[in-house]
Structure 1
Amino acid sequence: MAHLHELSLVEASARIASGSLTPLELTEAVLARIAAVDGVVGAFVTVTAEEALREAALATAEIVAGSYRGPLHGIPVAYKDLIDTAGVATTASSRVREHHVPEADAAVVAALKRAGMVMVGKTHTHEFAYGGVTPTTRNPWDPGRMVGGSSGGSAAAVSYGGALAAVGTDTAGSIRIPASLCGVVGFKPTYGRVSRTGVASLAWSLDHVGPLARTVTDAAWMLNAMAGHDVRDPGSVTARVQDFAAGIDDGVEGLRLGIPVNYFTERIDPETARMVAAAVATLVEQGAVVVPMEIPQAEHFGAVITGIMMPEASAYHRRTLRDTPELYTDEVRGLLEVGETILATDYIDALRFRQSLKAAWRDAVVALDVDVVVTPTVFTTALPADDPVYRWDDGRVDSASVGYGRLSIPGNLFGLPTLQVPCGFSTSGLPVGVQIMGRPFADQTVLRVGRSVERVQAASAGEDPAAPHTVPARAPGLQ
């Protein structure tokens, strides 16, 4: 039987609803897990143990009294440290905001509080989310390896049982990359689905907020509470919020899978490529149809997202970069300074080119009648923390800071709903993930395809399809 900290949100919710588990018992187990292993992993900036126990005790009393709020009631959650939490420091993992204590919750925190979730702490990010590594945090599957970023703390916490779910942000892959490397589910909804009010920005036209969890259904339930229009966020959309878990187990019969023949197939670790191909094969066995597709103008993706992200980030940090530049790390300060050298005309050109690329992607998807595009999430597994470089047989190298984000860029450039789902483990025991990108606002379809991958993976491992992947005992310090 799984330990309480290993439960999926779905499993824990069912036990709480039946009365066989209380939120207080669950929260105590999660806090004990944090105390036991976070010294090795370093997922948390702040652990709010006292507040969590009070919230869990209140949730327990409410449920006993018959005031059950729904499937998230009493579930422990962690928040990326970019996301404001009233009365609890929100530092963005930076000395710039070392003493920043918000007076109000971010919109997403307020929404999940209304649903009854219990905050156990704030998780590390790459400083201000400006990087794909999260240097403070190690991978629960192998603490000698990196966790990815920038939502690395959130992914690591969910992976080892320091929370049953977490909230992260994603500007160029920052939810999906660490979720893949840590073997958990990460979902970036359609742009504008989830409010960013109260969330520190990296690049406003690329930023998304989304859930990380153990299973696809867990993530869908989180999104049900998180999604909705917010007039305070200029990017927020008024699209109807449906039940994102509805039909999630309906399978993929007749769905058309776009399988790229370029860009997403270039410079991919062979083992990762084989495992993603195997995941696609299982979808075909379930009735999906493979549609080979050429990704138009893909060679421009990296330059365009850089031309947008860097000036937007520098604009956000303009005042503090002038007033307290010494408080930034050398890496992030350097990026912000370079961003200030990009001309306004070049930024406008990048925005225009983005629209051209977006139209070309849309036309390719429509012409082939593709429902989702399926690719690897990242090009390889977690690299060693002390040598974060992948060396190809021909002598080329890819650094983690550059290579990890290459495959996730389109989801942000085009605002597409994009899901990372674990699809197995490498021969060295490290998680591998598959990425599923849908049409705008087809979040439910993306989640349904991901759930089909997940069910096959669970069945092949002899597990209940709702069971989470658990951290292996071989990981040093994580027994």
Structure 2
Amino acid sequence: MDPYRLTVTQALSNIKNGSLTIEQYARSLLSRVQERDSTVQAWTHLEPDHVIEEARRLDRVPFGERGPVHGLPVAVKDLIYTKDMPTQYGSPIYDGHAPELDAASIIVLRQAGALILGKTTTTEFASTQGGPKTCNPHDPTRTPGGSSSGSAAAVGDFQAPVGIGSQTGGSVIRPGSFNGVYAFKPTWNAISREGLKFYSPILDTIGFFARCVDDLELVTDLFDIEDDEAVISEFTVRGAKFGVAKTVVWPKAGPGTKMALESAAQLLRSHGAEVEEVELSSEFDRMPEWHNVLTENEARATFLPEYRLAKEKLSPFLTGRIENVNKVSRAAQLEAYDGIAALRPKIDEIAKGYAAILTPSVVDEAPLGLQSTGSPVFNSMWTALHTPVINIPGFKGANDMPIGISLVAPRYHDRRLLVVSKAVGAIFEAEGGWERKL
């Protein structure tokens, strides 16, 4: 097997036993990038010579002095500060911008021995729905999703084993689904966001892409994300209880998502689980409205500096936010803050009754074209509620494109969610019907 096809767990094992050097691993990934990047276009900045130089430096570190993920290649969303690479936020205002420090998340990764491969594409400030240049690796005529477009596409195309992204609405979970990979949005603020360009401080969450749960667990370990309760090392689906939450936006679900959610529930039942529909009270029906209020009003403060600096280089979407063209009041903003805050402990209590709650990741398979990155309508509620969410691949739409299902847990039950997702993912990948062809 070519090294670029290895999972992180496999590759790091080979590096530790000496059968694979970090330089060999990096060269294999760079070869894959060279072969595929003209089609996928996942990167905004990648310098092969710099990657090889860093790989050689990491190879020279004595085994006894190496970090827990020494040699792990990571693709970083171009919204996150990296001191040796440009950070341009998908905006012409910051073309060539080079910060002199790393974001907190990058510091943690580097100190653990990670190899930062390069920067990946994002929509403008991770905000607008208009897509960047990146194409879906499974069908270049379709979007990879956004705003963490490049990170998800790079992982889905085997150009990187792990990608780092961020989510304000659905910018980790949605592209995870569209690209057929696992995507993990931890509990809000479980990972420091220092050095991440904000859209909404009350919503923005750093997350990760990988091709298996084992790899997500390795990365999660680095950030000391822990549950209060002791986490079981293994989980058995048989005898477990799952909930299915369609939520108020269910009428927007396409046929692919309807079939995927139905199939997911049937598969769990066939493996001995109890699955029941979760009837959320009507107070949750305002979540989409409240999420939109927060993104509209928080953008007014976040992007005011860019508006004052170079209004002509901002998209009409963002200038409209700053100018408050929709006339969203401060009273509405306060109502949204308070209404969502009141619902967080309520969804925690509901979710504690299940191994996990199943809910759609997307409206349907990735839409055609790059003009839109798809709708986050099925993600925004969980982002606002601050719950951990994982997209699990395995299902497909009418055009044989991947469709994932989300698993949701109470806040700060991240580690248990990962353990549950490993068992559920094994079933969905084996029996869900979608097969990776790359």
User: Which position in structure 2 is the counterpart of 1:393?
Assistant: none
User: Which position in structure 2 is the counterpart of 1:164?
Assistant: 161
What is the aligned counterpart of 2:318 among 332, 352, 359? Answer: 332
Which deviates more, 34-43 or 112-121? 34-43
Deviation (angstroms), 1:8? 1.4
Which deviates more, 128-137 or 413-422? 128-137
Give the distance between the partners of 1:180 and 1:453, measured in 2 at CA: 15
Q: Provide Cα deviations, 1:318-351, integer angstroms capped at 9, x if missing partner.
A: 1221221012123333333337943322211221
**Residue 252 (str. 1) matches residue 237 (str. 2):** yes
Give the distance between the partners of 1:177 and 1:344, measured in 2 at CA: 30
Give the distance between the partners of 1:339 and 1:121, measured in 2 at CA: 37
C-alpha contact (below 8 Å) 2:227/2:415 kept by paired residues: no
**Residue 374 (str. 1) matches residue 358 (str. 2):** yes
**Residue 111 (str. 1) matches residue 108 (str. 2):** yes
| Distance change >3 Å, CA 9–CA 298, structure 1 → 2 | same
Deviation (angstroms), 1:92? 0.4
**Residue 280 (str. 1) matches residue 251 (str. 2):** no
| Distance change >3 Å, CA 257–CA 460, structure 1 → 2 | closer
Q: Give the AA of the match of 1:108.
A: S
Give the distance between the partners of 1:438 and 1:460, measured in 2 at CA: 23
Give the distance between the partners of 1:417 and 1:378, measured in 2 at CA: 16
SS in 1 for 2:80: coil
C-alpha contact (below 8 Å) 1:311/1:340 kept by paired residues: no
Deviation (angstroms), 1:171? 0.9
SS in 2 for 1:145: coil
Which deviates more, 448-457 or 121-130? 448-457
Deviation (angstroms), 1:122? 0.3
Deviation (angstroms), 1:28? 0.7
C-alpha contact (below 8 Å) 2:130/2:370 kept by paired residues: no
C-alpha contact (below 8 Å) 1:90/1:100 kept by paired residues: yes
SS in 2 for 1:138: coil
**Residue 194 (str. 1) matches residue 191 (str. 2):** yes
**Residue 102 (str. 1) matches residue 99 (str. 2):** yes
**Residue 385 (str. 1) matches residue 365 (str. 2):** no
Give the distance between the partners of 1:412 and 1:428, measured in 2 at CA: 29
**Residue 9 (str. 1) matches residue 8 (str. 2):** yes
What is the aligned counterpart of 1:217 among 214, 229, 235? Answer: 214
C-alpha contact (below 8 Å) 1:43/1:138 kept by paired residues: yes
Q: Give the AA of the match of 1:13.
A: L
**Residue 428 (str. 1) matches residue 399 (str. 2):** yes
Q: TM-score, normalised by structure 2?
A: 0.92
Give the distance between the partners of 1:176 and 1:133, measured in 2 at CA: 17
C-alpha contact (below 8 Å) 2:166/2:206 kept by paired residues: yes
Q: TM-score, normalised by structure 1?
A: 0.85
Give the distance between the partners of 1:210 and 1:189, measured in 2 at CA: 6
Give the distance between the partners of 1:318 and 1:356, measured in 2 at CA: 29
C-alpha contact (below 8 Å) 1:172/1:412 kept by paired residues: yes
Deviation (angstroms), 1:303? 1.0
C-alpha contact (below 8 Å) 1:133/1:152 kept by paired residues: no
SS in 2 for 1:169: strand
Deviation (angstroms), 1:283? 2.6
Give the distance between the partners of 1:300 and 1:340, measured in 2 at CA: 18
Q: Give the AA of the match of 2:330.
A: A
SS in 2 for 1:434: strand
SS in 1 for 2:323: helix
Q: Provide Cα deviations, 1:275-294, integer angstroms capped at 9, x if missing partner.
A: 23222333334443213211
Which deviates more, 16-25 or 355-364? 355-364
| Distance change >3 Å, CA 312–CA 292, structure 1 → 2 | same
Deviation (angstroms), 1:104? 0.8
Matches within 5 A, 1:16-165: 16-62=15-61, 65-70=63-68, 72-132=69-129, 134-165=131-162
Structure 1 residues not aligned, in runs of 5+ = 229-238, 389-399, 463-467, 473-479
C-alpha contact (below 8 Å) 1:248/1:447 kept by paired residues: no
Q: Give the AA of the match of 2:425.
A: E
**Residue 308 (str. 1) matches residue 306 (str. 2):** no
- What is the Cα-based RMSD across aligned positions, in Å? 2.5
User: Which position in structure 2 is the counterpart of 1:409?
Assistant: 380
User: Which position in structure 2 is the counterpart of 1:235?
Assistant: none
Deviation (angstroms), 1:48? 3.1
Give the distance between the partners of 2:249 and 2:304, measured in 1 at CA: 35
**Residue 323 (str. 1) matches residue 309 (str. 2):** yes
Structure 2 residues not aligned, in runs of 5+ = none
Give the distance between the partners of 1:116 and 1:49, measured in 2 at CA: 18
Give the distance between the partners of 2:123 and 2:437, measured in 1 at CA: 23
Q: Give the AA of the match of 1:319.
A: P
| Distance change >3 Å, CA 85–CA 241, structure 1 → 2 | farther
User: When the two structures are aligned, how many residues end up with a matched partner?
Assistant: 437
C-alpha contact (below 8 Å) 2:88/2:94 kept by paired residues: yes
Give the distance between the partners of 1:48 and 1:187, measured in 2 at CA: 27
C-alpha contact (below 8 Å) 1:187/1:417 kept by paired residues: yes
Deviation (angstroms), 1:68? 3.4
What is the aligned counterpart of 1:299 among 254, 261, 285? Answer: 285
| Distance change >3 Å, CA 323–CA 340, structure 1 → 2 | farther
Give the distance between the partners of 2:70 and 2:315, measured in 1 at CA: 39
C-alpha contact (below 8 Å) 2:394/2:429 kept by paired residues: no
Q: Give the AA of the match of 1:420.
A: N
Percent identical residues:
27
Q: Give the AA of the match of 2:269.
A: V
